[in-house]
Structure 1
Amino acid sequence: MTPLFENTVTLRGFLGSNAEVPPSEGIAEDAFAVLLLATMSGTWDVATNQWTPRIDWHRIICVGPWFCGFTRGMRRGEYLEIEGELRAFEEDRTVVVVGNRYPAKHASYAVHAIRIQRLARPLVVVDTGEDD
């Protein structure tokens, strides 16, 4: 039987920065770690016969002491697969228009991790044409 609702996201990509994990003495039941994961996709432009890459950045929230311990030491460039739930949240912001300030709400999204798996780096590297 198919479930009535499902909210599952699976991402596979590279860490864009080192894991943000609280210090060991600061890990409580409500502690969390944050990962920034980059995924790549793109489109093929038939007119120019070129691949146009697109990199998306995903904020991964890893809740609880177990995830804080597991993600400690994860470094930029690690290849991961993450399964989680997509969550939306709103932030209050101020928008300035012609010198006047107006309150506004800004929606953001994050993936709350359920499963994280370290993967072996792929042998094939995608050349985006950008030099770092």
Structure 2
Amino acid sequence: MALYENKITLKGFLGKDAENFATKQQKTFTVLSLATKSGYKDKQTEQWVNHTEWHRIVTFGKSADHAKNLKKGDYVEIEGELRSTEFDAEVGEGKKKTTFKRRGWEIRASLVKKLAQPESSRGENLDAEPVTEDDAA
């Protein structure tokens, strides 16, 4: 048993086509925008409340080669680790400009699998919210 483990598995739908890039050393990587959904029933209103979470997925090497042809709407499973990056962001203009630290999160995928569409999503999904490309991470 490992003392520390950073492992994440996600299943969801892609919000846009895979984006392929190359580093300065000509190593390729692929970025995916993955949507996962969760929901709960509000006890007061008895209404079903859906929540969509967007994940930025970055993959290198063989998994990037496999992921590069994925398209918007594909159902995929991702395995990898959660990574954070810290960067400076600026807000305001002129003398009111302020710099502060921001933290971004992404998943470094070691495995990307395209799955068959689940039975429940093949027809009309009545509780699904419409998703636009602007929503994709």
Q: What's the counterpart of residue 119 of structure 1?
A: 115
Report if the CA contact (8 A) 2:76-2:114 is conserved.
yes
Shift of 1:131: 5.0
Matched, 1:82 2:81: no
Task: Give the TM-score of the pair, scaled to structure 1.
Answer: 0.86
Gapped regions of structure 1 (runs ≥ 5)? none
Matched, 1:73 2:85: no
Gapped regions of structure 2 (runs ≥ 5)? 132-137
Distance 2:44 2:94 in 1: 41
The one-character-per-residue Cα deviations of 1:51-74 (angstroms, maximum 9, x if unpaired) are 10000000000012x233211221
Q: 1:130 to 1:117 in 2, by over 3 A?
A: closer
Q: What's the counterpart of residue 38 of structure 1?
A: 35
Q: How many aligned positions are there?
A: 127
Instruction: Say which structure is richer in helix.
Output: 2
Identity %: 36
Q: 1:112 to 1:129 in 2, by over 3 A?
A: closer
Task: Name the amino acid aligned to 1:61.
Answer: V
Distance 1:55 1:6 in 2: 26
CA RMSD of aligned residues (A): 2.3
Q: What's the counterpart of residue 54 of structure 2?
A: 57
Distance 2:56 2:130 in 1: 25
The one-character-per-residue Cα deviations of 1:65-104 (angstroms, maximum 9, x if unpaired) are x233211221000000100000000121112289611111
Task: Name the amino acid aligned to 1:46.
Answer: K
Task: Give the TM-score of the pair, scaled to structure 2.
Answer: 0.83
